Amino acid sequence: MNTTLEEKSVTQDMNVNDLDTLSQTSQDMQPNVTTPATPFDVQRKEKTDHQTVKINAKDVHVYYGESEAIKGIDLDIYQNEVIAFIGPSGCGKSTFLRTLNRMNDTIDSCRVTGLVSIDGRDIYDQNLDVVLLRAQVGMVFQKPNPFPKSIFDNVAYGPKLHGLAKNKYDLEEVVENSLRKAGLWEEVKDRLHQPGTGLSGGQQQRLCIARTIAVSPEVILMDEPCSALDPIATAKVEELISELSNQYTIAIVTHSMQQAARVSDRTAYFHLGDLIEVNSTEKVFTQPDHQLTEAYITGRFG
């Protein structure tokens, strides 16, 4: 699939006052960010030091009719990193996420300008196969949306569609491996032919993640994947995100700053359609470059 595709902030110079106070406030909000690095923290920093650009967005504008939702964003997303998009409701973070696999194409009034490339290939090239693009750049939505099929068929659907399994045994192996990667195999291995809709909310979301990775994507987009889940299910999905980042590039939209701090290597802050700041997650939460970022993470608005 890689071969197929290969062929195929706003920033303002404003001073941030009293960063010592901000740093202490951020530590109180999320101690995981400022505590001494654990082996997990060090591992993630080592990965982002190898800054191989996977996705490049340059001067991206998104319009709904005459309304401009995204205002000329430039952003590089690196291979095998987890990047979190944060910001108040309506800031454009989900709209921007959807530009990365052309999900906005499904909205008649939506228009995208600028460049979005993956591995150097313009994904808005009219000759690009959008179905293959969405296999390479998978999407996990806010609300779990399993197909009205069995657990097995939910995961097998994509590999069948894209011809990724040569026979029944290959397909069974793909399904099992995908469910294992999603941390769901042990919970469902004895009921694979029961409806996926019969699972709990957290299990359904992990089923959707298994369905996404079954077609061997390189990038996984997540639009508030834990917003409808309880804390226990959320913890399992967050643990899964950390594990999957060893194999996939992940961009996640979240309203939870604590979640962004726990799972991401870098954090991008959006405000009214502008990308205000993107930095290492630790820096964003302890010493942001922009007053708007500081105001948001300290709870002054949003």
pLDDT for residue 299: 86
Token code pair at residue 212: 């996404």
Sheet architecture: strand order including 110-118: 67-78, 53-64, 110-118, 121-122
Q: What is the largest CA-CA distance in the chain?
A: 63
Share of the chain above pLDDT 90, in %: 79
Give the three-state DSSP class for 43: helix
Phi, psi of 211 (to 5 degrees): -60, -40
- Is the pLDDT reported for residue 295 higher than 70? yes
Tens digits of per-residue pLDDT, 51-106? Answer: 899 999 999 999 999 999 999 999 999 999 999 999 999 999 999 999 999 999 99
DSSP per-residue codes, 121-150: EETT-TTS-HHHHHHHEEEE-SS----SSB
CA-CA distance, 287 to 281, in Å (whole number)? 10
What letter represents residue 111's amino acid?
A: R
The DSSP symbol for 24 reads H
Tens digits of per-residue pLDDT, 141-185? Answer: 999 999 999 999 999 999 999 998 889 999 999 999 999 999 999
Tens digits of per-residue pLDDT, 252-274? Answer: 999 999 999 999 999 999 999 99
Say which CATH superfamily domain 53-298 falls into: P-loop containing nucleotide triphosphate hydrolases (3.40.50.300)
CA-CA distance, 160 to 101, in Å (whole number)? 21
CB 199 within 8 A of CB 168: no
Share of the chain above pLDDT 70, in %: 83
